[in-house]
Amino acid sequence: MTANEKMAAAELKPLQMAIQEITYREAIVAALREEMRRDPKTLIMGEDIGASGGPFKTCQGLYEEFGASRVRDTPIAETGFVGAALGLALTGYRPIVEIMFADFLGVCFDQIANSIAKHRFMSGGRVKTPIVIRALGGAGLRFGAQHSQTAESWLLSVPGLKIICPSNPEQAYLMLKAAIRDDNPVLVLEHKALLSTKGAAPIGLDDVAMPTGPRVLRPGRHATIVASLAMVGKALAAADRLALEGIEAEVIDVQVLRPLNVSPISDSVRRTNILVTVEEQAPTGGWSSDVVADVVSQAFDFLDAPPARITLPDHPLPYSPHLEDSFIPSPERIAATVKSLL
Amino acid sequence: MDFLVPKLSATMESVKVLRWLKHVGDKVAIGEPLVELETDKAAMEVESPVEATLEAVLAAEGAELATGAVLARLGLAGEAELASSTKSSPATIPDAPASPAEFAIAGAGSTWAATPRILASPFAKRLAGMKGIDLAALAATKPLQRIRARDVLAAAEARGAKEGFEPFSTVRRHIAEAVTLSRRTIPSFVIDRWVAATAIDQARAAHGGQIEKMIGVRPTFTDFLLLALIDSFSKHPRILDRWHEEDGRVGRIRAPNIDIGLVVAVADGVMIPVLRRLAGKPVHEIVQARHDAVQRARSARLLDADYAPVSFSLSNIGKSGADRFEAIINPGQSSILAVGRQHDRVIASSGGIIVARGVNLTLTVDHRLIDGLLAAEFVETLAERIEHGTWSST
pLDDT for B3: 83
Q: What is the pLDDT of residues A27-69, one digit of tens each?
A: 999 999 999 999 999 999 999 999 999 999 999 999 999 999 9
CB contact under 8 A, B122 and A306: no
Q: What is the pLDDT of residues B245-290, one digit of tens each?
A: 888 899 999 999 999 999 998 877 889 999 999 999 999 999 999 9
Q: What is the pLDDT of residues B355-364, one digit of tens each?
A: 999 999 999 9
CB contact under 8 A, A273 and B105: no
Mean pLDDT of B87-97: 38
Lowest-confidence region among A74-88, A89-103, B14-28: B14-28
Rounded to whole angstroms, the Cα distance separating A180 from A67 reads: 19
Nearest CA in chain A to B152: A304
Judged by a CB distance cut-off of 8 A, whether residue B270 touches chain A is no
CB contact under 8 A, B126 and A301: yes
pLDDT for B144: 81
A215-341: CATH topology is Rossmann fold (3.40.50)
Rounded to whole angstroms, the Cα distance separating B258 from B277 reads: 5
Nearest CA among A171, A91, A166, A75 for reference residue A130: A91
Beta-sheet pairing, B352-366 with B335-339? antiparallel
Instruction: Please state, for a pLDDT cut of 90, what percent of chain A lies above it.
Output: 94
Q: Which residues of A are catalytic?
A: 78, 147
Going by pLDDT thresholds of 50, 70 and 90, the confidence category of residue A117 is very high
Going by pLDDT thresholds of 50, 70 and 90, the confidence category of residue A15 is low
| CA of residue B117 relative to chain centroid, distance | 25
Going by pLDDT thresholds of 50, 70 and 90, the confidence category of residue B163 is low
Judged by a CB distance cut-off of 8 A, whether residue B153 touches chain A is no
Q: Which residues contact B290 (CB under 8 A, 6 or more apart)?
A: B220, B222, B223, B226, B262, B275
- Could you tell me which residue, A74 or B54, shows the higher pLDDT? A74
CATH C-level class of A3-203: alpha beta
Question: Has residue B44 got a pLDDT over 90?
Answer: no
Question: Has residue A279 got a pLDDT over 50?
Answer: yes
Delimit the domains of chain A by residue range: 3-203, 215-341
Going by pLDDT thresholds of 50, 70 and 90, the confidence category of residue B10 is low
pTM to 2 decimals?
0.55
CB contact under 8 A, B122 and A301: yes
Going by pLDDT thresholds of 50, 70 and 90, the confidence category of residue A7 is low
Going by pLDDT thresholds of 50, 70 and 90, the confidence category of residue B91 is very low
CB A96 within 8 A of CB A66: no
pLDDT for B114: 47
Rounded to whole angstroms, the Cα distance separating A59 from A56 reads: 8
Going by pLDDT thresholds of 50, 70 and 90, the confidence category of residue B50 is confident
Nearest CA among B252, B360, B267 for reference residue B315: B360
Task: Give whichever of A277-281, B25-29, B78-82, B294-298 has the largest mean pLDDT.
Answer: A277-281
Interface test with A, best of B102, B121, B127 (most A CBs within 10 A): B121
Facing residue for A303 by CB, picked from B105, B122, B143: B122
Same fold, A3-203 and A215-341: yes
Mean pLDDT score of chain A:
94
Rounded to whole angstroms, the Cα distance separating B316 from B49 reads: 35
Nearest CA in chain B to A307: B121
Question: Has residue B74 got a pLDDT over 50?
Answer: yes
Nearest CA in chain B to A303: B123
Task: Tell me the chain A residues in contact with residue B122 when contact means C-beta distances shorter than 8 Å.
Answer: 300-304
In Å, what is the CA distance from B183 to each residue of A201, A245, B261, B330, B366? 81, 58, 19, 10, 11
Going by pLDDT thresholds of 50, 70 and 90, the confidence category of residue B379 is very high
Task: Give whichever of A16-20, A291-295, B87-91 has the largest mean pLDDT.
Answer: A291-295
pLDDT for B226: 96
pLDDT for B85: 37
pLDDT for B132: 81
Question: Has residue B79 got a pLDDT over 60?
Answer: no
The count of CB pairs under 8 A between chains A and B is 28
Beta-sheet pairing, A249-253 with A215-218? antiparallel
Mean pLDDT of A173-188: 97
pLDDT for B304: 83
Going by pLDDT thresholds of 50, 70 and 90, the confidence category of residue B34 is confident
CB contact under 8 A, B123 and A341: no
- Could you tell me which residue, B26 or A232, shows the higher pLDDT? A232
Going by pLDDT thresholds of 50, 70 and 90, the confidence category of residue B82 is very low
Nearest CA in chain A to B151: A304
pLDDT for B98: 41
CB contact under 8 A, B122 and A340: no
**Residues forming a β-bridge with B124:** none
Using DSSP's 3-state secondary structure scheme, residue B243 falls into strand
Judged by a CB distance cut-off of 8 A, whether residue B108 touches chain A is no
Q: Which residues contact B88 (CB under 8 A, 6 or more apart)?
A: none
Task: Give whichever of B53-57, B149-153, B173-177, B191-195 has the largest mean pLDDT.
Answer: B191-195
Q: A262-271: string of b/e by CB count within 10 Å (b at 16+)?
A: bebbbebbbe
What is the separation, in whole angstroms, between the first and last Cα of chain A?
A: 46
Judged by a CB distance cut-off of 8 A, whether residue B122 touches chain A is yes
Facing residue for A305 by CB, picked from B121, B125, B126: B121
Rounded to whole angstroms, the Cα distance separating B304 from B35 reads: 12
- Nearest-CA distance from A222 to chain B in Å? 12
Facing residue for B122 by CB, picked from A300, A340, A341: A300
| CA of residue B239 relative to chain centroid, distance | 22
CB B5 within 8 A of CB B66: yes
Judged by a CB distance cut-off of 8 A, whether residue A271 touches chain B is no
Mean pLDDT score of chain B:
83
Nearest CA in chain A to B105: A306
Mean pLDDT of A177-186: 97
Instruction: Please state, for a pLDDT cut of 90, what percent of chain B lies above it.
Output: 45
